[in-house]
Amino acid sequence: MKKHVILLLTAGLLLFTGCSNHSDVVPSGTETLQQEHTSDNKAIDKKKGKEATATAPKDSHYSWQEISVTLPRGWADKCVIVDQDNGFSIFQKASYEKEEGLGFICGFQRSNEYWYYGAGETLLAYTDDGVLYYLMQPTDVACDVSQEDIVDEYGSMCGQVEELKASVQITASDLHLDAEEYILPTSNILPLDSIALANLSGNDLWIAKNELFARHGRQFTNSYLQMYFDRCSWYDGTIPTSEFDDHALSRLELDNLELILDAIEDYNKAHPYPKTYSTSDTAKADLTGNGKANKISYKVKPLGDWDYKCELTIDKHTYVISDMVYMASPVTDAFYITDISEMDDSLEIAILDYGPSDDPVTYFFRYDGSNLSLLGEVGGFPFTDQTGGPNGFDGLGNITGRVRMDLIETTYLEGYWRLDDDEIVYQDYYWHKLLPGNSHTLYEDLPVHLSMDDASGTTTIAANTKVYFMGSDMEEWILVRGKDGSKGYLHVKDGNIVDLGVPADHVISDLNYFD
């Protein structure tokens, strides 16, 4: 019997970070290339009920109807390509020859349906008349391991999919290549499905709602939303909020807006926390899950310069928070009740501190009916009313705060924490999204890589282009996107752009560092 191994392909190899996050739920009834290749390890034309034919490409270029790609160097001798009714798939030749359907690397498919970004699906482009083009990538893929070099080659080829993706050419009228910059790219041309909307987070629904207005040039008084849309290549905000007429939206867009608003209402009902309370009020909440409401109040008493006494009272028990954690500059007018994990019976109390130098921190406490314990801290304030931005809680034990980075300038990225039993633990992921920030202008052409690898292919963002920083590994790489839609990974080391050998501020305007 042949031996196989399931290779879990990490998000670092497979994902190209865009403007938004998407659900990992595949809509019911959707046939994907991934499902075809992992169900029985054969590429099957389901509509015709027969196997498709695999062929080796003759050179580095391959075309299927209106879709064409340029294969990475050396792939022509290492892959086979399977044509299907609605697209084609690429397999590692060495694995495919061992067993038909084995070694799936990626595929490209045309559809008239919006799939709401299931696992392994990326919408590459779409047309005004609702034709959609997807890149399909595996999540768990069977790979032949009879030879170590086959496994190594397969992993290397999967790591080059970004280069392949960048080469895609589609000859279609009214084609849009900015799909990854949207939460719902086709909400202006296709009707939405309330079931699919239920799979979006509250933050995604918030952005999706405002995308409908942003498409028509509306500006936003909310600074987070304004900076978020400013860095999207398709956005041109010219109409002040007070002058915007909702009738600019089409009938379909208005119907979709109504569905999104209903979904937001349903989400908020299902996720009532976090809740904000004034320090002048007494909150009532069942902290322990025993069915009885506790009375909670919080007071901050200044004692002198940078010295405070912070007291949290639960029922008749008073706890001095400033004896448990250092409060450099506490928020004096509010505290919060949260439900970090909706799977347990406990609620948490959150106390905020601005920190000594614009490094805000949120402390979380748990009360068990007789004792108060510190669960941990999160960088930043993960509360919408504090930042004007997204809600940092997903109800599944995860918290999104912020971390500071001084790689190319002093800037802030999303930081990730998780409640693990009775402790909040920082999640040291390899990739962080940058919080929306100001733009920069290029003084000269800027070469950027297609992946975080000096050996990967490069593209150029032209001089005088307005650019935004989108994400970083917090070590040496930054994802840069131009307002014209061009993008790539910039390698920075010791303040220098590696490919140019010059300091970053010689090429990029308005880089700021602060203590």
pLDDT, tens digit, 9 for 90 and up, residues 76-116: 999 999 999 999 999 999 999 999 889 999 999 999 988 87
Neighbouring residues of 363: CB distance < 8 A, sequence distance ≥ 6: 321, 325, 350, 351, 352, 353, 374, 376, 377
Q: Domain map of the chain by residue range?
A: 4-176, 194-270, 275-396, 440-506
In CATH terms, the fold of domain 194-270 is Methane Monooxygenase Hydroxylase; Chain G, domain 1 (1.20.58)
Q: What percent of the chain has a predicted confidence (pLDDT) above 90?
A: 78
Residue 17: predicted pLDDT: 32
Which residues, given as ranges, of the chain have pLDDT below 70?
1-52, 117-118, 141-142, 515
Paired residues of 398 in beta bridges? 418
Q: How far is 166 from 378, CA to CA, in rounded Å?
A: 37
Residue 443: predicted pLDDT: 98
The structure tokens listed for 412 are: 């802030």
Residue 118: predicted pLDDT: 67
Residue 45: predicted pLDDT: 39
Contact (CB, 8 A) for 129 and 174: yes
Residue 46: predicted pLDDT: 36
Q: What is the CATH number of domain 440-506?
A: 2.30.30
DSSP 196-252: HHTTS-HHHHHHHHHHHHHTTTB--SSHHHHHHHHTSTT----B-GGG--GGGS-HH
